[in-house]
Structure 1
Amino acid sequence: MTKARPLSLITGASAGIGAAFARALAARGHDLVLTARRTDRLEALAVELHDLHRVNTTVLTNDLADPHGVEQLCTALGERGLQVDWLINNAGYGVPGRFDQSDWSVHADFLRVLVTAPTELAWRLVRGMRERRYGRIVNVASLAGHVPGSAGHTLYAASKAYMIKFSQSLALENLGLDVNVCALCPGFTYSEFHDVTGTRALVSKMPSFMWQRAEAVVLEGIDAVERGEAVHVTGRFNRTVKGLFKLMPDRMALKMSAKQSKRYRAQD
């Protein structure tokens, strides 16, 4: 049964979709645990949401690229007696450029943040959700996980495809327990993502109808996980893109991906 004040843990909560999830869930009366690497931003957001909605906010600065990051985060939760009802696995970023141009340590950190850490968090927290017979897990994936890979950001689509399949399986394992799991798959979203990867100039040329605001993505995600959708692609345009690529022969889809990815990927 749902608690009067569910507790939501949001990774990557300092900006973008993560901060939008924090604001939306606080508005619904959720207490929050906010985690990311930037303490100052987390603390500012925590104060904002406490003052606005009178919810309890806990800041736990954490680097999920650290192999022990998830264990340390869950230890901190246990020490504070915090039981997570909603897990928003949102932390993520991209590594632009050709695969061999980055050191392996860069790719290893990326895989820990986008694949290993969210998987481990789900493993550590879903047991309590099952015991309490209530929980929600939103794994922020991407439309990129549904379409052919592209040159540049070599591991990004692969990591998101993994999160989609993982979410589907975890959702099936928890049917009938009121523990819902959803892979949320946005397309282009207004956030700092492209500033960090250095592709802002490229993507700014994309037409406005291809973009969504983080707040709209989050509202769709909350509704989808509450309905029990295992996978949800946000926005009519993105759902159309997914459908078109699903119908195309693989060779044609790869050719189109190769052509179009030059518009938004740093490939060299």
Structure 2
Amino acid sequence: MPLDRPLSLVTGASAGIGAAFARALAARGHDLVLVARRADRLHALAIQLRAAHGTAVHVRPLDLADPSAPQRLCAALAAEGLAVDWLVNNAGYGVPGTFEASAWEVHAAFLQVLLTAPTELAWRLLPGMRARGYGRIVNVASLAGHVPGSAGHTLYAASKAYLIKFSQSLALENRAHGVHVCALCPGFTWSEFHDVTGTRALVGKLPRFLWQRAETVVDEGVAAVERGQIVHVTGRANRAIKALAKLIPDRLGLWLSARQSRRYRQLD
């Protein structure tokens, strides 16, 4: 059964969708563990949430590109007697340019943050959820995981497709134990994501109807995981794009992707 004050762990909580998840869950009566690299932003958000909602907020500045970070985080929480009921695997970013344009160390760090860390956190926290008969895991994937790959940002769509399939299998394995798992798949979302990747000017040319606010994405995500939906694509426009991508032949889909990539992907 749902707890009076669930404890939610949110990665990538310093901005964008992660910060929006923290605010939404605090407003719903959750206590929080906030994880990101930027300690100053986490502490500022924690002060806001404590004042607004009386939320207990545990700030954990960590770089999930460090392979030891998930184990160290979970060990520290266990030592403090903190049992995580909601896990929001949100931390992520993009590597602009083509595959060979970046050093392998850059790609290895990306794969650690986008693939290994969320998978390991789920593996470490899932047994406690099952034992208590209650848990929620939200893996923030992307519409990119449902459509043909694009030139540029080579590993991004691949990593999101993994999170979708991982969430599906995990959900089927655990739905009888009170644990809901959802792959949340937003499209273009207003945040600093594209500022960090240096593609703001490119994506700024896309139609405004393709964009959503982070708060809207989060509201849809919380509702989806609560009702047991395993994969949720946010927004009508994005759901239409996903449906179309399933209907058209792969060859046509890749041709369209090749034409559109230069509009929103940095290729050099």
| TM surpasses 0.5 | yes
Aligned-pair distance for 1:80?
1.4
* 1:71 matches 2:107: no
Match of 2:208 in 1: 208
C-alpha separation between the residues in 2 aligned to 1:67 and 1:34?
A: 18
Q: Which residue of 2 aligns with 1:228?
A: 228
**Deviation digits for residues 180-206 of structure 1 (CA, Å, limit 9, x no counterpart):** 000000000000100000000001111
CA distance in 2, matches of 1:160, 1:65: 17
Which of 8-17 and 67-76 deviates more? 67-76
In structure 1, the partner of 2:39 is 39
Could you say what secondary structure the match of 2:34 adopts? strand
1:8-27 deviation per Cα after TM superposition (whole angstroms, max 9, x unaligned): 00000000000000000000
What SS does structure 2 have at the residue aligned with 1:21? helix
Name which of structure 1's ranges 174-183 and 161-170 shifts more when overlaid on structure 2.
174-183
The alignment's C-alpha RMSD in Å is: 0.5
In structure 2, the residue matched to 1:55 is: 55
SS of aligned partner of 1:138? strand
Superposed, 1:4-153 pairs within 5 Å as: 4-153=4-153
2: CA distance, partners of 1:178 / 1:261: 41
Q: What's the CA shift for 1:216? A: 0.1
Letter in 1 for 2:92: G
Aligned to 1:181: 181
Q: Which amino acid aligns with 1:232?
A: H
- Matches of 2:23 and 2:93 in 1, distance apart? 21
The equivalent residue for 1:266 is 266
The residue number in structure 2 matching 1:253 is 253
Q: Give the 4+ runs in structure 1 shifted more than 2 A.
A: none
Q: Deviations over 1:115-144 (max 9, x none)?
A: 000000000001100000000000000000
TM-score by length of 2: 0.99
1:60 maps to amino acid: R
Aligned residue for 1:222, secondary structure, equals helix
Look up the SS of the partner of 2:175 in the other structure: coil
- 1:19-65 Cα shifts (integer Å, max 9, x gaps): 00000000000000000000000000001000000010000111100
Q: TM-score, normalised by structure 1?
A: 0.99
Amino acid aligned to 2:202: L
Within 2, Cα distance between the matches of 1:175 and 1:13? 27
Task: Calculate percent identity across the aligned residue pairs.
Answer: 72
Which residue identity lines up with residue 111 of structure 1 in the other structure?
A: L
CA distance in 1, matches of 2:192, 2:180: 29
Distance 2:106 2:214 in 1: 27
Secondary structure at 1:55 match in 2: coil
- Deviation of 1:154 (Å): 0.1
- Mapped partners of 2:134, 2:224: distance in 1: 16
User: CA deviation digits over 1:84-113, x for unaligned, max 9?
Assistant: 000000000000001001000000000000
Cα distance, 1:207 vs. partner? 1.0
Identify unmatched segments of 5+ residues in structure 1.
none
Deviation, structure 1 residue 78 = 1.1
Q: Deviation at 1:2? A: 1.8
Cα deviation digits, residues 140-166 of structure 1 (max 9, x gap)? 000000000001100000000000000
Q: What SS is found at the alignment partner of 2:67?
A: coil
Distance 2:61 2:76 in 1: 10
Q: Which residue does 2:219 correspond to in 1?
A: 219
Aligned to 1:193: 193
Q: Deviations over 1:214-259 (max 9, x none)?
A: 0000000000000101100000000000000100000000000111
